[in-house]
Structure 1
Amino acid sequence: MLHIAMDTFAARGYHNAPVQEIADRAGLTQAGVLHYFRTKAQLLTGVLELRDQSDIEQLGPDRPRGTEFLRHLVDTARRNAEREGIVRLYAVLSAESVTEDHPAQTYFRDRYTGLRAFVADALREAGGLAEDDARVEPAANAIIAVMDGLQVQWLLDPGSVDMAVSTELALDSLLTALAPDRFPAGG
């Protein structure tokens, strides 16, 4: 049922996806869906947790660090080109979550906070940068923005966007700018 809800939310957005449609597609009644998830918001939370679980399983038991984590981001972009439904779900719901009282707003705010911290740590470790280097946080924001923006472009025109190549180029450029002694231009 969660996969059906994921597809429905990805195609229609949270507000335009009726629980009845999800129930019909799952072969259940609306009451049956609400037996497992007491509210539509709880169903959405279940879908987001399913998405995150898939990503966590890809990481394995230990989160990579430094350059290895940054390369993991490139690998994620490559994998995402094979997971259109999950990419669409993320793009639609993250954009929708900025609206007032959206049930996924806290989820996405927390997710971005955690992701920024992981990316910033990886940049510091890879570049040998000081903890208080003021360039690291904006660079982490830029990497996340590039990846999210590439997903939207790819969804609109998959044949024109290679998310992995573009992500790698952005990472390489930022590493060269942040730590030219470790990542020389063209190196």
Structure 2
Amino acid sequence: MSNAAEDTPTDLPGRPDLRRVRGDKRRTTIVETAVEVFGEQGYRGTSLREIARRVGISDAGLLHHFGSKVGLLAATIAARDEIDRARREESEAAGVSFVDTMREQVARNTRSPGLVALHVVLSAEATDPQHPAHESFRDRYRALRHQDDESFSRLQDEGHLRNDLDAERVGQLVTAMMDGLQLQWLLDPDAVDMARLFEDFLHLLEIPAPGQGDAAESRSG
């Protein structure tokens, strides 16, 4: 006669691995807490010990999941990018234009200096091929280029972007401009108005200001 332990299967088909589920939940909690702490204290002011304390685990427990402070930073940036992507898709599904979605993102960035600083610092460090976040940032920018190429091509098809411009290059220029604006804003926030300068850049591309696209179509119709 077999005992109860032998009669109870541990790997039933379709049964979730509870250790993995708990690990995933813990990682999510750590990243959410890191976003909060990094947003409050910035990159240099944040210690892994403070994040671990808020999560309720040891320093070693935190490092078990992410390996290092840089690894946690990379996960935090990835989480922010996922939030931005979800907001972007949600806005587009609600009928908000691609350009207005970018405007909203610039406005959100002005309210999140800690996260903006994280992005600027980590992206600069990640230019080193040996940096643990190098591949993550390289892939991030590749995905951005692909996404922006599609979005600006669609904008061109709708008549809101000049036909003599290359949509792929415009996307790269916009990303470079936004990254540069963030750096200048961090260095001298009182002298750099990100939202206004972003709007000026769109004006140079002859992209209609908010509310002007429909008016232009009405005049041409």
* TM-score where L is the length of structure 1: 0.74
For the pair 1:94 / 2:120, whether they are aligned, the reply is no
- The answer for the alignment partner of 1:179 in structure 2 is none
Query: How many pairs does the alignment contain?
Result: 170
For the pair 1:152 / 2:180, whether they are aligned, the reply is no
* TM-score where L is the length of structure 2: 0.64
**Comparing both chains, which one has the higher relative contact order based on Cα–Cα distances under 8 Å and sequence gaps of 6 or more?**
1
Contact 2:184 2:192 survives alignment (8 Å): yes
Contact 2:73 2:118 survives alignment (8 Å): no
Larger Rg: 2
**Secondary structure of 1:160's aligned partner:** coil
Q: C-alpha displacement at 1:43, in angstroms?
A: 2.6
- The answer for the alignment partner of 1:12 in structure 2 is 44
Q: C-alpha displacement at 1:73, in angstroms?
A: 1.1
Contact 1:10 1:93 survives alignment (8 Å): no
Q: Distance in 1 between matches of 2:91 and 2:119?
A: 24
Match for residue 83 of structure 1 among 89, 93, 112: 112
Q: Distance in 2 between matches of 1:155 and 1:3?
A: 23
1:50 is matched by which residue type in structure 2? A
For the pair 1:55 / 2:84, whether they are aligned, the reply is yes
- The answer for the alignment partner of 2:100 in structure 1 is 71
- The answer for the alignment partner of 1:172 in structure 2 is 203
Q: Tell me, which stretches of 5 or more residues in structure 1 are unaligned? A: 177-182
CA distances 1:32-71 after superposition (whole Å, capped 9, x unpaired): 2124x1512543343223212332343354646x991122
Larger CA deviation: 152-161 vs 47-56: 47-56
Q: Distance in 1 between matches of 2:87 and 2:180?
A: 22
- The answer for the alignment partner of 2:67 in structure 1 is 39
- The answer for the alignment partner of 1:26 in structure 2 is 52
For the pair 1:135 / 2:166, whether they are aligned, the reply is yes
2:128 is matched by which residue type in structure 1? T
- The answer for the alignment partner of 1:119 in structure 2 is 148
CA distances 1:120-157 after superposition (whole Å, capped 9, x unpaired): 2222222228xxx7722222211111100000011111
Identity %: 34
1:12 is matched by which residue type in structure 2? R
**Secondary structure of 2:128's aligned partner:** coil
Q: Distance in 2 between matches of 1:34 and 1:78?
A: 34
